[in-house]
Chains A and B, each alone.
Chain A
Amino acid sequence: MADTTLKIATRDSYGKALVELGAKNDKIVVLDADLAAATKTGAFKKAYPDRFFDTGIAEANMMCIAGGLSTMGYTVFASTFAMFAAGRAFEQVRNTIGYPHLNVKIGATHAGISVGEDGASHQCCEDIALMRTIPGMVVINPADDVEARAAVYAAAGYEGPVYLRFGRLATPVLFDDGYSFEIGKGVMLCEGTDVTIVATGLMVGEAVAARELLANDGISAAVVNMATIKPLDRDIIVSAAEKTGAIVTAEEHSIIGGLGATVAETVCETKPVPVVRVGVEDTFGRSGPAVELLHLFGLDAANIAEKAKKAVSMK
């Protein structure tokens, strides 16, 4: 694990990785819908203005332009906020990117509650649920800067549609540069015997902190980083269910349809054990500083630890 005092928003990692990729591969094209400064694709725009297209405030059009461009031999990254990428343009993504299985990477930033002050209209907690129902769509929610950059590289090297979920909030860097990322592989970060915390995105850092809280209470928790939500690493989930007999999921997303749901579906069909979900509890977000909101909605180590104890008690 890396020095966790360093904080970087994964949207910054996205912009940085795009610039690096652009230098190596002249088939990388980036689209944005008037949010280049916020999604950080502006860095790519500055480096490779000929391969950057700003479609203006028209996300539906942007997604389909991305589809068309990809058929001309380009690897296209289409970027906007998660709310508009997965929400507003859902049907365009489904029919014009997903159905033809085109080589488009959706770089969705500002996902989840940690958008902060902009409030519920911009806090997308439904995107994982929406995107994972599209056949053939890969859904990746990186935990930190290192994993986010690695995921961008992996997405570019994968032939087909990928949804990449990035955050606005600067969060601790968890991994060092030796960390290797593979699409569809969960990573066991810490071993444990009583319960497994399966976390994604910025909740991975909270899960590691929750493990310490649980240790103080004599509970041994394993922690799995599940960056790829689809295709899900079923093996690591089944193994966790078998070894620890209880699972807690943690995500900055609705408890409906996201990581918790896919883990519960998998556990029910393979090795039924208690699964308790930590996430946004079927409610809209609200305005406020991001860190305060994360605590308000229970997206923190304390709530994960509490839910872990509940899961253990259900064994």
Chain B
Amino acid sequence: MDAAAKKQLKITACKVRMGIIESVYNAKSGHPGGSLSAADIITYLYFAKMNIDPSKPQWEDRDRFVLSKGHISPCLYSVLAHRGFFPVDELKTFRKVESRLQGHPSMRYTPGVDMSSGSLGQGISTAVGMALGAKLGGKKLRVYSVLGDGEIQEGQVWEAAMYAAAKGLDNLVAVVDNNNLQIDGSIAEVNSPYPIPEKFKAFGWNVIEICAHSFDEIEAAFNAAEEFKGKPTAIIAQSIKGKGVSFMENQYSWHGTAPNAEQYEQAMSELKAALAELEG
């Protein structure tokens, strides 16, 4: 990608991060840590990669996205809002009664959400179903799913991984947001899923390892996945939980905690400064 496109993606991702903080702060609940770690990847998908049309969220030939780690709904909602699926201001209604923005993604409430998710391990299976359906219908569309690294402790993820490879679903990409932290601590200490690339390789996947915060690496990985035929692709993305807000970075305590007013101000001022620098 050229420098201007990369700069624009960085600006958008920064605005997405501001939307995440805005959502979680107003709801006084939600999951900022993993939302911030996956923000660059999901921003890239919706702004640079996926074949979608915000004015036609049900367009049947669109690429599909399943947020298997459904608890980072603030990230998905912020991306969808900035992409034009609904007003950015609506992010402030997150998790409130009357809101279209449920705590975890619901396809029945929110335009642009392709699949309800939230119960870990299930989203990747639904993505497999979509990829199968696309192949069955002779559609060229592609299916993307983002999983947490803690989520892959769920056995169902490996049922899905086995089947996707067995069926040669090369129209499917699973991204593992490898921020190394889950609610109870580091994933290595709680119940280590490492080595992650080797596990997906053993299950028959094409595996690519990247930095989750480098748009060059993100773009190269998704392009390589699209070129690769015969196997699904797993992108293992090394990320920083809480990325972009200094006091949230690499702190598992920010997995599912909302900032107070003071913390909100600090987070927003950091992100505004980053945005000003990017736009300057």
Residues of A within 8 A of B (CB): 29, 50-51, 53, 55-56, 58, 60-61, 63-74, 91-92, 95-96, 99-101
The answer, yes or no, to whether B119 is at the interface (CB within 8 Å) is yes
Q: How far is the CB of B263 from chain A (nearest CB, A)?
A: 32
Asked whether A100 lies within 8 Å of B159 as measured between CB atoms, the reply is no
Known: A95-B116, A95-B118, A100-B108. A53 touches B132 (CB 8 A): yes
Asked whether B122 lies within 8 Å of A95 as measured between CB atoms, the reply is yes
Most buried by B among A68, A74, A91, A101: A68
Most buried by B among A51, A64, A100: A64
Known: A68-B125, A71-B115. A61 touches B159 (CB 8 A): yes
Asked whether A99 lies within 8 Å of B106 as measured between CB atoms, the reply is yes
Known: A73-B60, A91-B119, A100-B106. A64 touches B125 (CB 8 A): yes
B 185-220 to A, binary, CB cutoff 8 A, 1 in contact else 0: 000000000000000000000000000000000000
Residue of B nearest to A74 (CB): B133
Most buried by A among B60, B107, B116, B128: B116
Asked whether B163 lies within 8 Å of A56 as measured between CB atoms, the reply is yes
**Given contacts A55-B159, A64-B128, A71-B114, could you give 13 more A-B pairs where the C-beta distance is less than 8 Å?**
A56-B163, A56-B166, A69-B130, A69-B133, A71-B126, A71-B129, A72-B133, A72-B136, A72-B139, A92-B156, A96-B116, A99-B106, A100-B116
Residue of A nearest to B124 (CB): A64
Asked whether A60 lies within 8 Å of B116 as measured between CB atoms, the reply is no
The answer, yes or no, to whether B134 is at the interface (CB within 8 Å) is yes
Known: A95-B118, A100-B106. A58 touches B137 (CB 8 A): no
Asked whether A100 lies within 8 Å of B107 as measured between CB atoms, the reply is yes
Residue of B nearest to A73 (CB): B60
Residues of B within 8 A of A (CB): 60, 64, 66, 106-108, 114-119, 121-123, 125-134, 136-137, 139, 155-156, 159-160, 162-163, 166-167
User: Which of B60, B119, B136 is the one whose CB lies under 8 Å from A50?
Assistant: B136
Closest 6 A/B residue pairs (Cβ): A68-B129, A72-B133, A64-B125, A68-B126, A61-B159, A65-B129
Q: How far is the CB of B164 from chain A (nearest CB, A)?
A: 10
Known: A58-B159, A65-B163. A96 touches B137 (CB 8 A): no
Residue of B nearest to A99 (CB): B116
Q: How far is the CB of B154 from chain A (nearest CB, A)?
A: 9
Q: Is the interface of A mostly helix, strand, loop or mixed?
A: helix
Asked whether B156 lies within 8 Å of A68 as measured between CB atoms, the reply is no
Please indicate the chain A residues that have their CB under 8 angstroms from the CB of B132 in the complex. Answer: 53, 65, 68-69
Asked whether B133 lies within 8 Å of A96 as measured between CB atoms, the reply is no
Asked whether B130 lies within 8 Å of A68 as measured between CB atoms, the reply is yes
Q: How far is the CB of B266 from chain A (nearest CB, A)?
A: 36
Q: How far is the CB of A36 from chain B (nearest CB, A)?
A: 16
Residue of A nearest to B160 (CB): A61
Asked whether B106 lies within 8 Å of A64 as measured between CB atoms, the reply is no
Residue of B nearest to A76 (CB): B129
Please indicate the chain B residues that have their CB under 8 angstroms from the CB of A67 in the complex. Answer: 115, 125-126, 129
Asked whether A68 lies within 8 Å of B136 as measured between CB atoms, the reply is no
Q: How far is the CB of A162 from chain B (nearest CB, A)?
A: 18
Residue of B nearest to A56 (CB): B163
Asked whether B125 lies within 8 Å of A61 as measured between CB atoms, the reply is yes
Please name 11 pairs of A and B residues whose Cβ atoms are closer than 8 Å in the assembled complex, sorted by A. A58-B156, A60-B159, A61-B163, A68-B66, A68-B126, A68-B129, A69-B136, A71-B133, A72-B136, A73-B60, A74-B133
Q: How far is the CB of A91 from chain B (nearest CB, A)?
A: 6
Interchain CA distance A66-B163 in the complex, whole Å:
13
Asked whether B163 lies within 8 Å of A96 as measured between CB atoms, the reply is no
Interchain CA distance A91-B208 in the complex, whole Å:
32
Q: How far is the CB of A31 from chain B (nearest CB, A)?
A: 9
Residue of B nearest to A94 (CB): B119
Known: A92-B122, A100-B108. A61 touches B128 (CB 8 A): yes
Please indicate the chain B residues that have their CB under 8 angstroms from the CB of A29 in the complex. Answer: 133, 136
Q: How far is the CB of A189 from chain B (nearest CB, A)?
A: 39
User: Which of A51, A60, A99 is the one whose CB lies under 8 Å from B156?
Assistant: A60
Interchain CA distance A67-B136 in the complex, whole Å:
15
Residue of B nearest to A65 (CB): B129
User: Which of B115, B134, B136, B163 is the one whose CB lies under 8 Å from A58?
Assistant: B163
Q: How far is the CB of A28 from chain B (nearest CB, A)?
A: 12
User: Which of A51, A65, A95 is the one whose CB lies under 8 Å from B128?
Assistant: A65
Interchain CA distance A124-B96 in the complex, whole Å:
40
Residue of B nearest to A53 (CB): B132
Please indicate the chain B residues that have their CB under 8 angstroms from the CB of A63 in the complex. Answer: 125
Please indicate the chain A residues that have their CB under 8 angstroms from the CB of B162 in the complex. Answer: 56, 58
